[in-house]
Structure 1
């Protein structure tokens, strides 16, 4: 008499348990690999922005203005408020998009709506979530300055209605930060000149007001930051705040030594 072989219920449960354990072990590794790829892409975005800033400087003998015609509180809506990132478009291989923008009217004028809605991969960190904004988002912002070490806020690179040249960065291009991740900030549109900010706390600081732009990322343990010489670092959120503040200022004579 021929017997048919088959799994018993116990054997089946053991196999399912083993598969579950293997999946549980492999899933974190897969997620870590994906995040490593996203971090590499984020770093490459900032690297491209850094190269574009140098090309802009070569063409104009200065970095782009942080914001053209900043709108202060109760300022008339006729002020244009264009961001440094909009000025940078021709050097990011986006000349056609740049030509679609009418820089003679405000950034949020109806004439600029189609261009402003155009999403650009170079301005978006792959780890950051998509947000429902009126215009296309950016996850990177220019550093206006810091108020960590003193109360002088306009000591960074991207100022209102003022151009900074490399010769003005007396602390050294490699020692001075230009652009940082600013994920989830309230003013995160690449065309909007409000995407410059003053750093007041640490990186990914849970005490920083969520309604303000700060150095924030969705990467675990830190954020990507672009230096003025176009190199990019992943800085730990445990970095000393005074060191971070010194890295943001352009001409205070700070000697910055990062921990090894």
Structure 2
């Protein structure tokens, strides 16, 4: 009779060995997750840069057609109640005017530009403008589920304001006015140029109908009806900004964190509204301009900076540590700066 051969049973993992394997896997996952998240954010930032580039190209195509840069917005000071006679200048954002140049020609054709963007009588403008266009107007790094607000995560900055004003400390981080930075010698005074002087103008202007402009505007001899031809951009197309990020609205985001969604306090977000523009008025901290708050200021949810589209169609990322005078030199179109310290 053949003898049976005894085979040894395979050895099993001990509890200690199993715990060691689990710990190693946990460490590998912990090391991998930041890399995955960084890769995802890098992809979102590149997507955001692509959006801004396409917006800039749309604006340049507008300039080719009309021989003037698109306005930041068209606006007026006077109220208008007539339903039979259109206002002297209807309220619209500049985005509405470049709709055909980023594949939104159907929406453009439905808007009656003789009447305000949110007019309901005699037009249906509000129906056509209070809709989410998405696409190149949305930065993917912003929070989701904001489509119901028909938002734009980008805006134009029209000028630098050098007036004695203070941030709204209920919503905005502590800081001060650009005029204070000038007084402290942190921003060049541009030869003592006053508020509304052309030296503080950006290329993307608000075309404003105002029968009684402010006193300082009158003193500067400024006509508020502003449209900019490319030839007026004396500082160079590659050194003058067109659109900048202001992401996350209507949630209020600040350097100190989120203050929650507030569509009343943070209402410069609708792509068709004349209010979705920014004037550079304030800084936060000692001198910071970028990423103080997304209320009418440059702000992104990328790491430590924002994307800016320039008039030559390029898009560059600038860190929040940028010198305030350098940022202003990028905003102004004819400030006479010889170099930008970036």
Choose from 26, 37, 48 the match for 1:20.
26
Count matched residues. Answer: 254
User: In the alignment, which residue of structure 2 is the partner of 1:86?
Assistant: 96
User: In the alignment, which residue of structure 2 is the partner of 1:159?
Assistant: 205
Alignment of 1:68-217 (within 5 A): 68-70=74-76, 72=77, 75-76=79-80, 80-110=90-120, 111=124, 112-130=126-144, 132=146, 135-147=149-161, 148=178, 149=187, 152=195, 155-161=201-207, 162-184=226-248, 186=266, 187-199=268-280, 200-201=282-283, 202-206=288-292, 212-217=295-300
Cα contact 1:45–1:123 (8 A) shared by 2: yes
CA distance in 1, matches of 2:31, 2:63: 49
**Structure 2 spans left out of the alignment, 5+ residues:** 1-5, 162-177, 179-186, 208-225, 250-265
Query: TM-score, normalization: structure 2?
Result: 0.68
Q: Secondary structure at the match of 1:69?
A: strand
The alpha carbon displacement at 1:121 in A equals 1.2
CA distance in 2, matches of 1:189, 1:108: 11
User: In the alignment, which residue of structure 1 is the partner of 2:62?
Assistant: 56
Is 109-118 or 145-154 further displaced after alignment? 145-154
CA distance in 1, matches of 2:341, 2:59: 24
Q: Secondary structure at the match of 1:247?
A: helix
Is 153-162 or 184-193 further displaced after alignment? 153-162
Q: Which string of whole-angstrom CA distances, capped at 9 and with x for unpartnered residues, describes residues 18-51 of structure 1?
A: 1110000000000111111111111111111111
Is 113-122 or 22-31 further displaced after alignment? 113-122
Q: Secondary structure at the match of 2:247?
A: coil
Cα gap change, 1:135/1:104 in structure 2, threshold over 3 Å: closer, same or farther?
A: farther
CA distance in 2, matches of 1:245, 1:177: 10
Question: Between Structure 1 and Structure 2, whose CA radius of gyration is higher?
Answer: 2
CA distance in 1, matches of 2:145, 2:290: 19
Query: TM-score, normalization: structure 1?
Result: 0.88
CA distance in 2, matches of 1:248, 1:158: 9
Cα gap change, 1:177/1:256 in structure 2, threshold over 3 Å: closer, same or farther?
A: farther
